A and B are shown apart, each in its own frame.
Chain A
Amino acid sequence: MKKISLLLTFLLFVGMQAIFAQTRDVTGVVTSVDDGSTIPGASVIVKGTTVGTITSMDGRFTLKVPAGARNLIVSFVGFTSQDVLLTNAKEYTIALNSEQIAVDEVVVVGYGTQKKRDVGGTISTVKGEDIKMTPVQSFDQSLQGKASGVIVTMPNGVLNNPPVIRIRGVNSISSSSYPLIIVDGVPVFTGDVSASSAASNALADISPSDIQSMEILKDASATAIYGSRAANGVIIITTRKGMAGKVKVTYDGYFGYTSPYHLFDVMNATQYVEHKNRAISNNPTSYGSQFTIPTLNNAPVNTKWSDYIYRTGSQQSHSVTISGSSPTTNYFLSVGYNNQEGMIRQNSYERKNARLNLDHKLNKYITLGANLAITNSFNAAPNTGSLSGQAYNTGGAARLAFVLPPNLAPYKADGTYNIDGSQIGSMGQPQTNYGYYNPVAIFDLNKYTAQNDRLLANFSVTFQPVKGLNLKTVYGMDNLSVESTIFQSAITGDGFAGKGYAENDFNRANRWTWTNTADYSLATLKEKLNFTFLAGTEKQSTKGNLWYGFKTNVADNFFETYQGSWVTAGMGGGSQYENYFISYFGRINANYDKRFYLEGSIRNDGFSGLAEGKKFGTFGGGSFMYNLSNENFIKTSKIAELFSDIRLKASYGKVGNMSGIGSYASLSLYSGGLYGASPTWGFSQAGNSDLKWETSDKYDVGLSFGLLKNKFTVEMNYFYNDVNNLILNVPQSPSKGIPGNTIPMNIGSMFNKGLEFSVTSHNFTKKDFQWTTNFNFSTLKNEVTSLAPGVTEIIGTTSGLETTNRTMIGYPIGNLFTVETRGVDPQTGRRVFVNKAGKEVLYSHESPAASRWTYRDGTGNAPAIALTTDGKISGSPLPKIYGGMDNNFNYKNFDFAFSLTYALDFKIYNGTKSGLRDQRWWNNSVEVYETAWRNPGDITSIPKPIMNDNVSNGSSIPILENVEKGDYVKVRNVSLGYTVKNLPSFLGIEKIRIYAQVFNAYVFTKYTGSDPEVSTNGNTNLTAGIDRNSAPQARSYSFGANITF
């Protein structure tokens, strides 16, 4: 058919040339509608002839057209061809529309792309453009509030501390609830990969400015193609490609500064001494003498410790991209540099990265593609006490900022550190042994770093033997090396006891993924019935090698590294693992007449960590979608005037969670060790050969539509996720002597359900003024429905010391668990505790042990209150409602945007508050100084200060007084920009946008802690909602420019 038409055309040309011998000159310029730039190399052809030319470097053309010619066809790769009617004019300006606008919006899905209107699964898309200017370390931190059903929590303001990401709630108990992250088709390493106090988020190695889009796959239909790893949702990152058009060079950069958003207002030295001495007078046996304000260099000591711990840090980021395409090749090249000082002293982050993405069409059949990204990132931090497991570190900086007394100084009169062995010196105070470190000394002396070298690369070949059929092979790799170092000085602090400590850790994690897919598209029944088939296989190998060495007893304080000279022989250790996936998968998409859509996918995963004969499992899901708007009866009805693109959809699937299954979990193992100098073997792991993945049955129904000619687009989904076979470490009788006293078994279950709503509203779309609002809203209900037999609850502890959460059947996971308190008894000033019988009990710390606890009704001594006997469920830390809102305004050359995130109806255990009110020598909040009980009749929430009382305010037993509503609305980001176009051409600059923005601008909340967005225990399922001695969040101001050359 084609050949015949070519032949005909040829014959026609020959004929025409004979007919139209007369010519005239036509000139013009071809530009892009997008940005007005000229397009070189565009083809300009007289319609119906072979007469034509190509535009010059400045986009201009001159053409002799036959006298009778009526039209010009102007075309360029990536732009919609344009038919230009020739008039008498000699000069033409032809503006081409880029093809992206003309064609359907495309969404990245598992192993491919789909037209957005054909997608039956639930997928949210976040554009890279929307996040690249945010002054964060990793792209995942910018996902906050951007998509319904996704909650992202930054644990605190420590640089590069990985955020907690939950897609449709917590979906596991002992395994991870963290989603699968795919970058350009390759599952990548995630989480904090540092072995020191300097957090290092593996995802920060991906430069946010290299990201084209992030697709968040939520329901089973969208995720089932990822089978056993899909239960927590999937985030697909696609990096940028060269766009059609001339070579494009851009520069994006910002500089800014960051400071803590909310520090506690603690007592000054005068207040401290007055308050603590009052507490001593209420408990005279506590100290033999009073606290005083020492004089140092003729001035009274009054130390504001937070000034020595926090700072205003400066930040800068630069990235340059070069991209473009020829008819056969497109390329994207970027280099970036990012350097951020944290708000905590000594906390810094530096990233250097480069990326090359290339696609080349070798011939009609074969296309080659490659993505190559290398990154070096360097993290340094003090011991912030703010990473998971560090909450009670005596060297934790965040805690030192408020616990240390203001009447101690960082330096002695002679300028040396005020230290006494490992701890801070007491400067003549009655407390001789403070136990905590001098932060100035340990900040100066100790060092913690983590340095990542990352290579993310893939290479692909696509073979298209016939139209519609694509055979593709992709080999991808993620090679991550992390070197962590720890140095603790012998002078004071953690290193004092061992006379100095140095440790180097090396972690090399290598993964390769080889994916082969075949997809085929087919249209029949007059193109009304469309099919797309996908079949594929995938292999994935992951190897980890971790080793470390440490030394103690430094030869000379000059040495600050492991490599230095040390007296005691070094020791070390490490671990190794290897695991392997083999997978087979397929997907069918079908739609009929753009009205009925069906999608089904299936995946068979084999995993090396499972026992022989039980390695493989099959997962799958499907969806049905009905587009009412394409029904004639709708098209012709009044509904069509109001609503457009009305879709109803439903999906179901069964997917898995493998994250809880270690590489060798099914095996019973012996490990080596030492008995003195003799090598040993000992039984070390009771494997479970029946172990399998956790499974999620996910149900989803949705409705989406446009309103008033798409002025509003609305999407609603209801989901129900029934999670079964949860892997729990089932406790064994300790007398059995099983290593660890637990065996992992597939035994628990829970569900998540909720509603998601998102709307995009084009409030104004005038030429000079546009205003767009995106709003999303999600609800979530989580409930644990079964645990291991005989296990009624799973206890969650914060940093191994404080029991703060309990997971119980019939309740949401990780409920807060505290002893009920009812304020302070106005008559006596004592904290009112409520025991399990519901009776009110008062506590007086200064009394003899036997009579500290008394009934409030005067009936004598009461049994001591204990969490295990008197504790009660005190609320869920999981927000029941959450979401975000973005507003974008454009007025002429100005743009203004702000984004909000919010979380409602949840509780936080404010453990930090118990510390701020603790009546040991610890410094307290000014609130304590001002409002603690003094006289009978005082109504206050802070009891009578009794020196050494660590019970009344919740330090030794978590109390309900410290459980607070966490509800917040946060102004995440506010930005104002101005764009300059039409600059003099000699500058070579096409346009410049300059902007200013504030990140973490403001929080509306009644929460009294530093910030209701907090996760002291990091990415944990069982102990969420704990705020214990964590650093505050950071607020950043930045000023930047985006320049297109």
Chain B
Amino acid sequence: MIKATICLMFFVLVGCSTDMLSLSPKTSLGELQAFDTKDRVIGQVNGMYASMKSGNYLGGRFQVYNDVRADNFLPKSTNGVTNYQTWNHSVITSTNEVINLWGAVYAAVNAINIFLEGLDSNWKAGTLTGKITDAEYSQFKSEALTLRAICYFDLLMLYAQPYNKDNGASPGVPLRLKANKTGEENDLARSKVSEVYTQILADLNAAEPLAIDKYTTNLLNTTRIHKNTIIAFKTRVYLHKGDFTAAQTEGAKIVSATAPYGAATGVPIGLNATFAGIWATPYTTKESVFSMPFTDTNLPGTQNSLAWYNNPSSNEAYYLTTTPGSTFSQMDATDARKMLFSTGTVSGTTVYFCGKYPSFTIQSDYAPIIRYSEVMLNYAEAIVRGGNAVTQKAVDLLNAVRTRSFPTGVYTLASFSTVKAFLDAMLLERSIEFLGEGLRNMDLMRTYSTIPAKSGTSAGSVSAIAPGTPTYIWPIPSSELDINKLMTGN
């Protein structure tokens, strides 16, 4: 009997408790707790931005791809890791850039979709009651919708033919609008470019009335979506879509009728007094409508940052084309934007680098996404293209941007004998103004223009790429084609 008791005791000591088999991590949150507090909801809102801020996407590389694909930049290095194949138009379905950008943008899309679904289901279930207000619910939803629109728009920039080619009849990208957390639903066909535009505008139009008017700090106004951010972005989308009337309508919402130009309601976005001031701490002037923030402890990562690609100290930076006809060659020596250039040497020759990103040691310069000057130029271009005539208003808007940096470069109506002359001047102005901000390739695509030839000292030469050439846009990545059975290549 005693023995039996002792035997039993051994096993009692061990017990049959299986509580210890249910352990949860201390450094990650279970998905059921993700909406438990207001801070966590806000954390997830910021998380959507953070996923877009990936070094492979808006943290730097997306802008760099759109710069170096086009004609203004030449590489110091032929390292494939630092976008050499993007520069010389030799990317294939398995090239890192092609795979990594696709993955990063869609990771952000899924993060956004997961948040949207969670936010809506928790809101409907009432579990957020008392944690966030109706206004906050609306605001968060508008931010999510806007961010998703930006993601899809950016995907179209490299992986699809421009809308302009055939009114969006070309294949776009798969529209993922639901949260993905399981191994299901790998297959999804591409929507047409026009269908993707429809979705982008649907998201933006839904977001606009829900959006917050303004935040309490300049930092939030620059780094979070508010009503004017949405409108600003819509000017870009409509311009790309060729809907110039709508672009004008959106532009008029945030560009005052007379100088000094600025938004009358919401965040008072407008031009900063000086061009150089935009690129210095705290990077949150009224002109920086939307930028990705970085801090010493939150960096884009080497070989991702804009500084890595634009700062002369980097061995893998890109320097400016200075040949006759280049953007550089058409800039006046007194132009503040040219003064901002820094110099370095490649093979013993002095070369110029875009000076917008001076923080090379730490690489914490903010990455710009949309600036007020673009809104003004979008508006001006929409007026001219929409009316097929150069107007004083359009010239005034162009001048406002131009003469801030180049006071003696004032245009008048007489400067433009034709609409084309204006549009050429506009394209050049944009090339100058947004150098190193990733708009140049978008502008070439939008206008269905040839990507000019270029030739570097040590990097070889690249022929011009005419519209219709297979390399005019990027291929669809092999990583998607391999798995998604409904996917088709470019």
Contacts and interface: CB of A to CB of B under 8 A. Distances in A.
Contact of B6 (A471, A499, A578): A471
B414 interface: no
A680 B26 contact: no
A493 to B, nearest CB: 15
B223 A669 contact: no
Nearest to A541: B20
Contacts of B30: 667-670
Interface string B174-203: 101000111101111000000000000000
B28 interface: yes
Interface in B108-131: 108-111, 113-114
B102 A735 contact: yes
A823 interface: no
Contacts of B176: 735-737
A606 B19 CA distance: 11
A676 interface: yes
A909 B2 CA distance: 67
B43 A608 contact: no
A75 interface: no
Interface stretch (B239-247, B423-431, B446-454, B475-483): B475-483
Contacts of A294: none
B370 interface: no
Contact of A608 (B11, B22, B99, B480): B22
Contacts of A463: 6
Contact of B28 (A671, A733, A790): A671
Interface in A650-684: 663-664, 667-684
Interface stretch (A202-210, A568-576, A757-765): A568-576
A837 interface: no
A731 interface: yes
Given A674-B50, A745-B183, A737 B223 contact: no
B34 interface: yes
Contacts of A737: 103, 106-111, 113, 176, 180
Which DSSP category, helix, strand, loop or mixed, fits chain A's interface?
A: strand
A678 B26 CA distance: 20
A177 B485 CA distance: 33
B103 A682 contact: no
B21 A607 contact: yes
B24 interface: yes
Contacts of B53: 675
B293 interface: yes
B188 A735 contact: yes
Contact of B298 (A469, A514, A676, A735): A676
Nearest to B480: A734
Say which size band chain B's interface belongs to.
35 or more
A413 B389 CA distance: 72
B25 interface: yes
Contacts of A730: 183
B294 interface: yes
Contact of A741 (B7, B13, B28, B103): B103
B330 interface: no
A637 B174 CA distance: 80
B44 A743 contact: no
B361 interface: yes
B27 A606 contact: no
Say which size band chain A's interface belongs to.
35 or more
A863 interface: no
Given A683-B181, A868-B94, A735 B23 contact: no
A738 B181 contact: yes
A733 B189 CA distance: 11
B102 A674 contact: no
A996 to B, nearest CB: 52
B28 A615 contact: no
Given A466-B3, A677-B293, A518 B10 contact: yes
Contact of B21 (A606, A681, A688): A606
B322 interface: no
A575 B27 contact: yes
A800 B84 CA distance: 19
Interface string A557-578: 0000000000011010001111
Contact of A736 (B42, B48, B106, B477): B106
Nearest to B481: A733
Contacts of A606: 18, 21
Nearest to B484: A733
B219 interface: yes
A675 B23 contact: no
B266 interface: no
A732 B102 CA distance: 13
B31 A736 contact: no
B467 interface: no
Contacts of B477: 734
Contact of B50 (A608, A675, A736): A675
A571 B186 contact: no
A671 B294 contact: no
A490 to B, nearest CB: 12
A579 B6 CA distance: 30
Nearest to A670: B29
Given A615-B21, A680-B46, A569 B29 contact: no
Interface in B287-331: 292-298
B31 A669 contact: yes
Interface in A454-487: 463, 465-466, 469, 471, 473
A471 B7 contact: yes
A553 interface: yes
Nearest to A667: B30
Nearest to A499: B361
Contacts of A669: 25, 28-31
A84 interface: no
A685 interface: yes
Contacts of B482: 731, 790
Nearest to B223: A676
Contacts of A735: 102, 106, 109, 173-174, 176, 188, 480, 484, 487
Contacts of A615: 18, 21
B285 interface: no
B47 interface: yes
B464 interface: no
A516 B13 contact: yes
Contacts of A681: 29, 34, 40, 43-44, 46-47
A377 B272 CA distance: 61
B47 A514 contact: no
Interface centre among B14, B30, B109 (most CB of A within 10 A): B14
A579 B22 CA distance: 9
A568 B28 contact: no
B297 A674 contact: yes
A683 B21 contact: no
Nearest to A466: B3
Given A539-B14, A670-B29, A612 B22 contact: yes
A734 B102 contact: yes
B348 to A, nearest CB: 10
B219 A676 contact: yes
Contacts of A868: 94
Interface string A718-733: 0000000000001111
Nearest to A676: B293
A686 B182 contact: yes
B140 interface: no
A708 B300 CA distance: 75
Contacts of A553: 361
A588 B150 CA distance: 67
| Top-10 shortest CB links A-B | A737-B110, A676-B293, A682-B47, A681-B43, A680-B47, A669-B28, A736-B180, A733-B484, A674-B298, A675-B50
11 contacts: A537-B11, A569-B297, A582-B20, A615-B18, A663-B25, A672-B27, A674-B298, A679-B43, A680-B46, A734-B103, A741-B103
Interface of A: 463, 465-466, 469, 471, 473, 498-499, 514, 516, 518, 537, 539, 541, 553, 568-569, 571, 575-580, 582, 606-608, 612, 615, 663-664, 667-686, 688, 730-739, 741, 743, 745, 790, 868
